[in-house]
A = this chain, B = another copy of it.
């Protein structure tokens, strides 16, 4: 094995990123070294690339980003027992402390001291990545490799959908980025009665339809609230999955949820959101949930079970497959909404 590797490196506190030759990372006794087969691009990676306010406050260059991936185990720390060389794996990239109240009571997804690989430590846009054994997720051969590289955002979708009752319920998804798109597939797979997808971007609406949303609505031209009342007997939807993080989408979420319904919030926004608590929450008796990450490891078992059973067709959301050298141009495609989920092949296995 060579001692160096190619990687995407955020080298400086400024926009952009570059491909560099860097040292293959060292690993400790409880770590696993994985040769990355596919790493996929998240909106967070775009924030880091563009060096927005959030990135400036969180990221300490130099950093190799990338927190969605799959690959093959090539070396093991000497205390590792649950995987072996040659295993095909992905990983939960939120490394929880294991010691706080949340970690010790089954809520590690909101650990007080979490570190995210690809954000707080070097990640997967590289030929190799180091992962602690605790966070490795060994893949069943029945899971397609491309899907194996997007378990992180798929897990966000599964966590959101299954955060409350969903079977036989009507569901609206506000915002059809990759997680919103995956949520369409997941909601359908677990018996949602109707899935409404709400999205302003034309490209994304097209994919939402391909993911088999029962109805795709464009809030810029359609009366979303009225359309949904018409299709729910005047009630509104049982469940809203808010995946946009945009004030008008959030407003829609509160408008369309029925009395007693739930709103699961995943889409991040730095803008203040204004609500009328009496009308929006209290009289309607709704429940609002903040959804962060994936439940460790309940969500992973759930999504693996759904994938193994062939219940999820995620192909329409995978729009681009690129070699790592084309990372910067992929960033541009992501911004337009033309690309949804972009798969990066660091070892050139596909792109030659």
Contact residues on A (Cβ < 8 Å of other chain), bracket: 35 or more
Cα of A311 to Cα of B305 in the assembled complex, Å: 20
Instruction: Identify A288's interface contact among B158, B250, B284, B287, CB under 8 A.
Output: B287
Instruction: Identify A268's interface contact among B112, B191, B270, B278, CB under 8 A.
Output: B278
Do A273 and B274 contact each other (CB < 8 Å), given the known contacts A106-B106, A290-B283? yes
Copies of this chain, whole number: 4
Chain A positions 283-329 with a Cβ under 8 Å from a chain B Cβ: 283-292, 296-298, 301-303, 305-306, 308-309, 311
Chain A positions 270-285 with a Cβ under 8 Å from a chain B Cβ: 270, 272-278, 281-285
Contact between chains at A309 and B194 (CB < 8 Å): yes
Cα of A297 to Cα of B309 in the assembled complex, Å: 32
Cα of A256 to Cα of B235 in the assembled complex, Å: 34
Instruction: Identify A193's interface contact among B102, B269, B309, CB under 8 A.
Output: B309
Do A272 and B270 contact each other (CB < 8 Å), given the known contacts A191-B311, A259-B102, A297-B105? no
Instruction: Identify A101's interface contact among B106, B235, B273, CB under 8 A.
Output: B235
Residue A166 at the B interface, CB < 8 A? yes
Residue A82 at the B interface, CB < 8 A? yes
> Nearest chain B CB to A290's CB is how many angstroms away?
4
Q: Kindly list chain B residues whose C-beta atoms are within 8 Å of the C-beta of A102.
A: 259-260
A280 closest partner in B (C-beta): B290
Contact between chains at A110 and B308 (CB < 8 Å): no
Cα of A109 to Cα of B286 in the assembled complex, Å: 12
Q: Kindly list chain B residues whose C-beta atoms are within 8 Å of the C-beta of A166.
A: 167
Cα of A296 to Cα of B191 in the assembled complex, Å: 20
Cα of A101 to Cα of B238 in the assembled complex, Å: 11
Q: Render A91-110 as a binary contact track against B, CB cut-off 8 A, 1 for contact.
A: 00000000101101111011
Instruction: Identify A287's interface contact among B193, B260, B285, B287, CB under 8 A.
Output: B287
Cα of A177 to Cα of B259 in the assembled complex, Å: 26
> Nearest chain B CB to A144's CB is how many angstroms away?
16
Q: Render A159-202 as a binary contact track against B, CB cut-off 8 A, 1 for contact.
A: 00010001111100000000000000000011101100000000
The 3 closest A-B pairs by CB, nearest first: A106-B106, A190-B191, A193-B305
- Interface on A for B, CB 8 Å cutoff? 81-82, 99, 101-102, 104-107, 109-110, 112, 158, 162, 166-170, 189-191, 193-194, 214, 235, 245, 250, 258-260, 265-266, 268-270, 272-278, 281-292, 296-298, 301-303, 305-306, 308-309, 311
Further pairs besides A81-B99, A194-B309: 13, Cβ < 8 Å: A106-B106, A109-B285, A162-B168, A167-B167, A168-B302, A168-B305, A265-B282, A269-B277, A273-B274, A273-B275, A274-B275, A285-B289, A286-B290
